[in-house]
Amino acid sequence: VAARVLLGLSLEEKQFKDLAKTFEQLVENLFSLPLNIPFSGLRKGIKARDLLHEFMEKAIMEKLQRKNSEGYSDALDFLINSAKEHGKEFTMQELKESAIELIFAAFFTTASASTSLILLLLKHPSAVEKIRQELAECHCQPEMNLDKLSRLRYLDCVVKEVLRVLPPISGGYRTVLQTFELDGYQIPKGWSVMYSIRDTHETAAVYQSPPERFDPDRFGSARQEGAGRFHYIPFGGGVRSCIGQELAKAILKLLAIELVSTARWELATPGFPEMQTVPIVHPVDGLQLFFHPLQPEILPESCLPENIKGDTLDIRG
């Protein structure tokens, strides 16, 4: 989806698998020790990066030669056209890096959030029942669109709470544009500072219930605990907040609707997995689950996707 919608790339199955494998190798070695020796994480990461740059350069060249003959614009088109409107021209290196960043942001963070969604719904079955009840009351199925999604207020609260409790990215970096003071400390112009998404969500004074509690109702109309500008920042904040946040939330909502409407799920392991936060939030050994058809007398297995017919499914964020 990311390759198609954001970059306008049509990939064959083998190309997609190779691309996904290379991306995984890049992410796994993103925070490696700076040891430039054979078989080190740094070498593996550099190799993956070079392969991605080679692939992206070829794909971007083909795209530029087509000159948008398909009649619609994707995210990469907008980047290129926006630069031209401001009298600038992207170099091939900048285009390659932008393409990789778009795929990284759309693929890995959404995979992480999807895994967290499934995990937290499993831990909190009452939320699943409330989502099912809301779907029944809103008559939003079988056909779903953005207008119907916007009417599912409780589901929106659930997605927001998942992203608060387990934000895919732990924090971000910013460069100080002018010297300022924070809590008695002077932060000089030009410094790089890191803000923590996780710590902000765990310590913000606006929360009425304990921050460690999974409580979707904190985002309901009666409380609106995340209404402050920088109290709730799973997508960052300010002018550089994530441009893909609406797409990510829509994907999470559709995933939740599909799951609660067609299946129930349970752990395939003795206990819940430990969560690792670097480079993105994910279960250390994957989230292994059993998926079963919901009300099989009404929804026969033939109506369900192949991967949720009672088989074990290993979900890796």
4-8, 81-85, 109-113, 228-232: which is most confident: 109-113
Mean pLDDT lowest among 8-12, 109-113, 167-171, 283-287: 8-12
Q: Which band of pLDDT confidence, cut at 50, 70 and 90, is reported for residue 72? A: low
Which residues carry a binding-site annotation for heme?
242
Q: 148 with 140: CB under 8 angstroms? A: yes
Q: How far is CA 74 from CA 1, 82, 98, 106, 289, in A?
A: 12, 12, 13, 13, 35
Q: What is the mean pLDDT of residues 215-231?
A: 84
Q: What is the mean pLDDT of residues 131-153?
A: 85
Residue 303's pLDDT is what?
43
pLDDT tens readout for residues 195-219: 999 999 988 788 888 999 999 999 9
pLDDT at 142 over 70: no
Q: Which band of pLDDT confidence, cut at 50, 70 and 90, is reported for residue 140? A: low
Q: What is the mean pLDDT of residues 48-77?
A: 80
Q: Is 191 exposed, middle or buried (0-12, 13-18, 19+ CB in 10 A)?
A: exposed
- Return d(Cα 135, Cα 267) in angstroms, integer: 25
pLDDT at 269 over 50: yes
Residue 50's pLDDT is what?
93
pLDDT at 317 over 50: no
Residue 120's pLDDT is what?
98
Q: Is 219 exposed, middle or buried (0-12, 13-18, 19+ CB in 10 A)?
A: buried
Which residues carry a binding-site annotation?
242
Q: Which band of pLDDT confidence, cut at 50, 70 and 90, is reported for residue 123? A: very high
pLDDT at 25 over 80: yes
Q: Which band of pLDDT confidence, cut at 50, 70 and 90, is reported for residue 222? A: confident
Nearest to 224 by CA among 166, 150, 161: 161
Cα-atom radius of gyration of the chain, to the nearest Å? 22
Residue 209's pLDDT is what?
87
- Return d(Cα 175, Cα 188) in angstroms, integer: 10
Q: Which band of pLDDT confidence, cut at 50, 70 and 90, is reported for residue 24? A: confident
User: Mean pLDDT for the chain?
Assistant: 85
- Return d(Cα 249, Cα 115) in angstroms, integer: 13
pLDDT at 117 over 60: yes
pLDDT tens readout for residues 273-303: 999 988 889 999 999 999 999 865 444 444 4
pLDDT at 304 over 80: no
pLDDT greater at residue 240 or residue 122 = 122
Residue 266's pLDDT is what?
97
DSSP-derived letter for residue 301 is: G
Q: Which band of pLDDT confidence, cut at 50, 70 and 90, is reported for residue 100? A: confident
Q: What is the mean pLDDT of residues 163-178?
A: 92
User: Which structure tokens are listed for 176?
Assistant: 């100080």
Strand-pair category, 287-293 with 312-315: antiparallel
pLDDT greater at residue 273 or residue 146 = 273
User: Which structure tokens are listed for 68?
Assistant: 């948008």
DSSP 194-216: EEEHHHHHHH-TT-SS-TTS--G
Residue 7's pLDDT is what?
81
Q: What is the mean pLDDT of residues 30-40?
A: 86
Q: 297 with 279: CB under 8 angstroms? A: no
- Cα–Cα–Cα angle for 88, 192, 207, rounded to 5 degrees: 110
pLDDT at 231 over 60: yes
Which amino acid does the sequence have at 159?
V
